[in-house]
Amino acid sequence: MTDTAHPLVPAGSFVHPALFYRTSGEYVATVGSFARAALAAGEPCLIAVPTSQLEALRPALDGVGDDAEFVDMTVLGRNPGRILAALQGFADRHPGQAARIVGEPIWAGRSHAEILEATRHEALINTAFAGRSATILCPYDVTALPESVVADARRTHPAIWDGGEDLTSTLYADPALVCADCDQPLPEPAGATVLAYTAGQLAQVRHHAETWARTTDLSRARQGDLVLAIGEATANSLAHGGGSGALRLWTGENAAVIAEIRDGGHLSDPLAGRSRPRLASTDGGRGLWMIHQLCDLVEIRATGGGLTLRLHMAP
């Protein structure tokens, strides 16, 4: 693999390839080549990959890596709903330049719920960056990831880099279709507490959430984050979700804390909460944005019957 194996695209173009790799050597060679070519062209380069991959890449970028921005994806992307805004923010910090980004949001060990939201993220990249000058390369370890994940990568990426070849993905699908397929039924919890609420009852909801949170393994600070996230979600129910809703609270595996808010709302903008909202935004996007920043995972299900938010926090 040489530095010219995958040339950068012309300014003004958007390219979103999936890199299918099988060995660490192939990964380092291809991603390193991509980053070196970007830096040699004077283009800003962001590398957001898991910890082990960062450590493998740094020696390969010795001498030029100081000009790249490195981010640990296991931190940034713990909640996949946070990633897109970070990529957009990086591009926005370099106006007039073609952003070159390596983003690896799915790795071995991710839960099924995390993979679904990361797949939704990959599809929405195509919507969020349409018409922008950027190349976003997304590596996939095809030897460690389930075949279903690799198949979804073909649906969320218009191009595939595989074995040194730059291929068009014949299975690429409309982002809206992929997102709809990610709206799989959520498993029913056992032992959840339930509180229905309507206008004028937000203080009651907050008290209920605070009291319940104190029974969990969350730290005091994380209890506060949970209550704040629930407050934002339930306030959105009253403002945008038909004026009422239901809150369910329970603990899952490894003492994870889960809050679910259901109402009659609809999600008209699939980027809501994933893109940084405008200061003057009044459409509920600000609340969803805050919820994504506070929680370790946010599962969203938008159906004809309403909107469900399932918020996860680890102790």
Expressed in angstroms, the distance from the first to the final Cα of the chain is 44
- Helical ranges in the chain per DSSP H: 24-40, 51-60, 73-76, 83-92, 112-128, 147-156, 175-182, 202-213, 220-240, 285-294
The string of pLDDT tens digits covering residues 191-223 is: 999 999 999 999 999 999 999 999 999 999 999
| 62 class by beta-carbon count within 10 Å (0-12 exposed, 13-18 middle, 19+ buried) | exposed
Residue 256 predicted with pLDDT over 90: yes
pLDDT attached to residue 281 = 54
* HEC-encoded secondary structure of 144-158: CCCHHHHHHHHHHCC
When mean pLDDT is compared across 10-14, 84-88, 148-152, 291-295, the lowest value belongs to: 10-14
Describe the strand order of the beta sheet including 193-198 as a list of residue ranges: 193-198, 244-251, 257-263, 306-313, 297-303
In the chain, which segments carry CATH 3.40.50.300?
14-182
Residue 142 predicted with pLDDT over 70: yes
The string of pLDDT tens digits covering residues 34-47 is: 999 999 888 999 99
The string of pLDDT tens digits covering residues 60-97 is: 888 776 778 999 999 999 999 999 999 999 999 999 99
* Fold observed for domain 14-182: Rossmann fold (3.40.50)
Name the CATH architecture for the domain at 193-313.
2-Layer Sandwich (3.30)
Residue 8 predicted with pLDDT over 80: no
Q: Which one is predicted more confidently, 27 or 285?
A: 27
* C-alpha distances in Å from residue 190, one per residue of 91, 251, 297, 299: 43, 9, 19, 18
pLDDT attached to residue 66 = 72
In the chain, which segments carry CATH 3.30.565.10?
193-313
Q: Which one is predicted more confidently, 163 or 2?
A: 163
The string of pLDDT tens digits covering residues 87-139 is: 999 999 999 999 999 999 999 999 999 999 999 999 999 999 998 999 999 99
